[in-house]
Structure 1
């Protein structure tokens, strides 16, 4: 495992892009996993990498495999939305396997999660065979149980984003408020639901190929 700190000049989006350009030089499909606790900036980081690779990369988020709210109610898991057993982990692993073995004439469709409706949308992301870098970001890519345990073997490399706890929690509270909760409800959700998940995710950090200690600005990543 390589640990890099963004308090130094050696760790910027551009240096991360340079690492990826080297890995992509052989022209082969490369699947990169971005892992971190809720609020660590995974989506922002992944989108910054895609923007820097100009049509060569796409993001396929793990959150597209959130179980529908109706199914969470049936399973009595709605109060724990975001926990490891509130995702279709088998479906996620199957998609990664398809992306690993994608045929040249095949378009693979992946779901995405829409926060404004708190539901996944099927077939929202189209991945063509000429996309060289697939970035998949999520919480449980390094979990070593259930169907999650299949995921690391389907990734070429995994990067873990670490972040200071208070800042991460502030972001989560702001996110929950943005999508409809009042401040008290947002704070309660973070402590009751997000934080137990965060502790579990942090325990998987040692399985990552690289750990980046991001010094986060407003964008969620260091500059």
Structure 2
């Protein structure tokens, strides 16, 4: 049974009791609502424990377009277009809980990551990390799993994903043909990979 937001927030607070740092992975396919849900969950925890929850978006670790180059740029968003090692190093630093850690955030309208866009402070004991591939059962992604104390996977039907993704591309200025192309020949390919090759999560969230 999938928990509601309040139940999940209470569950994580109880699980993190006494921990100096507790890392939660919130994974799921493109269009599942990871960014939205992670903010809701972070806010729900902070309402109960003010200032003790923080958020790290995996999208901040996108390789820049200049690094990817013209050949790989159409594949941006696929597993190999992220700095997984950089993410792993930052998560290890966050786990140590001995100093603030600056993390990058992704600016979707500008299609680039902003270095040091967010700081995880020592007071933020419960850190939610959200992203497509956090539970991907492929190296080097699977090596992230030991860094998480709790893992969540957002389950969303494909028809809902397609609708959301088309609307996302249209809102970003794509014409209908471009939105359909990116949705079906890019995002949904990544979505099927995430659904098919996911490590078992501690909890599924609908």
User: TM class by shorter-chain length?
Assistant: over 0.9
The 8 Å contact of residues 93 and 147 in structure 1, kept in 2 or not, is answered as no
Query: Under a length normalisation based on structure 2, what TM-score does the superposition of the two structures give?
Result: 0.94
The 8 Å contact of residues 136 and 198 in structure 2, kept in 1 or not, is answered as no
Match of 1:24 in 2: 16
- Runs (4+) of structure 1 exceeding 6 A deviation are none
Match of 1:101 among 86, 96, 104: 96
Match of 2:140 in 1: 147
Give the SS at the match of 1:207: coil
Q: Equivalents in 1 of 2:153, 2:100: separation in Å?
A: 29
Give CA-to-partner distance per residue, 1:69-94, whole Å, 9 cap, x none: 111225x2111111001101111111
Give the SS at the match of 2:27: strand
The 8 Å contact of residues 35 and 159 in structure 1, kept in 2 or not, is answered as yes
The 8 Å contact of residues 26 and 154 in structure 2, kept in 1 or not, is answered as yes
- How large is the Cα RMSD of the aligned pairs? 1.3
Give the SS at the match of 2:16: helix
2:7 matched to 1:15? yes
Q: Equivalents in 2 of 1:101, 1:24: separation in Å?
A: 15
2:152 matched to 1:156? no
Structure 1, unaligned stretches of length 5 or more? 6-10, 215-223
Match of 1:179 in 2: 172
2:54 matched to 1:58? yes
The 8 Å contact of residues 104 and 113 in structure 2, kept in 1 or not, is answered as yes
Give CA-to-partner distance per residue, 1:131-180, whole Å, 9 cap, x none: 11110000111123332122101111110000111111111111111112
Q: Equivalents in 2 of 1:128, 1:191: separation in Å?
A: 39
Give the SS at the match of 1:112: strand
Count of residue pairs the alignment pairs up: 202
The 8 Å contact of residues 90 and 148 in structure 1, kept in 2 or not, is answered as no
Q: CA deviation at 1:23?
A: 1.3
Give CA-to-partner distance per residue, 1:179-213, whole Å, 9 cap, x none: 1211210111111111111111002345211112x
The 8 Å contact of residues 170 and 179 in structure 2, kept in 1 or not, is answered as yes
Match of 1:41 in 2: 33
The 8 Å contact of residues 34 and 161 in structure 1, kept in 2 or not, is answered as yes
